[in-house]
Amino acid sequence: MLKAQASKLSATSPASHAPPSGARGQGPEGVRDHLRLIAEMTREFTASHDYKTIVHSCLERITKYVGAEAASLFLLADNSETLACSACYGPVDITGLRISAKAGVVGRAVQTREGAMVRDVSEDIDFGAAVDAKTGFKTRSLLVAPLTIGQDCLGAIEIINRVGGDGLFTPDDLILLETLARAAALAINNFRLTEKIVQQERQTHELELAAEIQRDLLPQPRGRDFPIHGINIPARSVSGDFFDIMTLPDGRIWFNVGDVSGKGMNAALLMAKTSSLFRCLAKSAEHPGQLLNAINSELCETNSRGMFVTMVGGLFNPATGRLTLTNAGHEPPLHFDLRTERFVAIPADGPPLGIAHGIAGPDGYPVTELDLAGGMLYVFTDGLTEATTFGGGMLGIDGARALIRDHAEESPDLRLKSISGAVKLPGQSLRDDLTLLVVEDFHDVLIDADRRGGVELTHDQIHVRFRLAAILIAQRRNIRVAQFQFVQDSRGSCDGIALNQIAA
- Render pLDDT for 441-456 as a digit per residue (tens, 0 to 9): 976 544 444 444 444 5
Predicted pLDDT of residue 460: 52
Mean pLDDT of 209-232: 87
**What does the alpha-carbon distance between residue 134 and residue 177 come to, in Å, rounded to a whole number?**
26
Residue 14: the pLDDT is 35
Coil/strand/helix, residue 257? strand
Side chain identity at residue 461, one-letter code: Q
Task: List the single range of 145-149, 181-185, 257-261, 395-399 with lowest mean pLDDT.
Answer: 181-185
Residue 469 has pLDDT above 60, yes or no: no
Average pLDDT over residues 489-497: 42
| Nearest alpha-carbon partner for 447 in 316, 315, 319 | 319
Q: Which of 16-25, 292-301, 449-458 has the highest mean pLDDT?
A: 292-301
Q: What band does 10 get if pLDDT is binned at 50, 70 and 90?
A: very low
The CA R_g of the chain, rounded to the nearest whole Å, is: 37
Q: How far apart are CA 432 and CA 383, in angstroms?
A: 5
Distance CA 1, CA 9 (A): 12
**pLDDT given at position 123:** 92
* φ/ψ (deg, to 5) at 348: -70, 130
Ranking 120-124, 171-175, 266-270, 478-482 by mean pLDDT, the lowest is: 478-482
Question: Among 62-76, 145-159, 195-209, 353-367, which is the least confidently predicted range?
Answer: 195-209
| Overall pTM > 0.85 | no
Delimit the CATH 3.60.40.10 region(s) of the chain. Answer: 218-441
Confidence of residue 31 (pLDDT cuts 50, 70, 90): low
Nearest to 345 by CA among 379, 371, 317: 379
Between 201 and 213, residue with greater pLDDT? 201
Least-confidence region, from 141-150, 170-179, 193-202, 441-450:
441-450
**pLDDT tens track for 64-111:** 888 899 999 999 998 899 999 999 999 999 999 999 999 999 999 999
Query: What is the C-alpha separation between 348 and 360, in angstroms, rounded?
Result: 12
pLDDT-based confidence at residue 319 (cuts at 50, 70, 90)? very high
Residue 47 pLDDT > 50, yes or no? yes
Q: Which of 81-85, 236-240, 401-405, 427-431 has the lowest mean pLDDT?
A: 427-431
Is the CB of residue 42 less than 8 Å from the CB of residue 133? no
**Which residues of the chain are in CATH 3.30.450.40 domains?**
2-193
| Most distant CA atoms of the chain, gap in Å | 120
What's the whole-number mean pLDDT along residues 223-241?
88
Q: What is the dihedral of CA 48, 55, 193, 202, to 10 degrees?
A: 70
Lowest mean pLDDT, pick from 9-23, 43-57, 361-375, 406-420: 9-23
**What pLDDT does 30 receive?**
61
Instruction: State the fold for domain 2-193.
Output: Beta-Lactamase (3.30.450)
CB distance 311 to 328 below 8 Å? yes
pLDDT recorded at residue 443: 62
- pLDDT greater than 50 at residue 198: yes
Write the DSSP string, 81-120. TEEEEEEEESSS--TT-EEETTSHHHHHHHHHT--EEES-
Residues contacting 321, CB < 8 A, separation 6+: 371, 372, 373, 374, 441, 442, 443, 444
pLDDT number for residue 72: 94
Q: How far apart are CA 317 and CA 297, in angstroms?
A: 27
> Would you say the C-alpha torsion 172, 174, 178, 183 has a positive or negative sign?
positive
Per-residue confidence (pLDDT) for residue 124, from 0 to 100: 92
Report the length, in residues, of the chain: 504
Instruction: Categorize the per-residue pLDDT at 340 as very low, low, confident or very high, splitting at 50, 70 and 90.
Output: confident
Provide the pLDDT for residue 48: 64
CATH 2.170.8.10 for domain 218-441, yes or no, is: no
Nearest Cα residue to 156 out of 89, 97, 85, 98: 85
Mean pLDDT of 163-192: 86
C-alpha to C-alpha distance for 463 and 467, rounded to whole angstroms:
6
CA distance 296 to 292: 6
Residue 295's pLDDT band (boundaries 50, 70, 90)? very high
Confidence check: pLDDT of 215 > 50: yes
* Mean residue pLDDT across the chain: 81
Q: How confident is the model at residue 159 (pLDDT cuts 50, 70, 90)?
A: very high
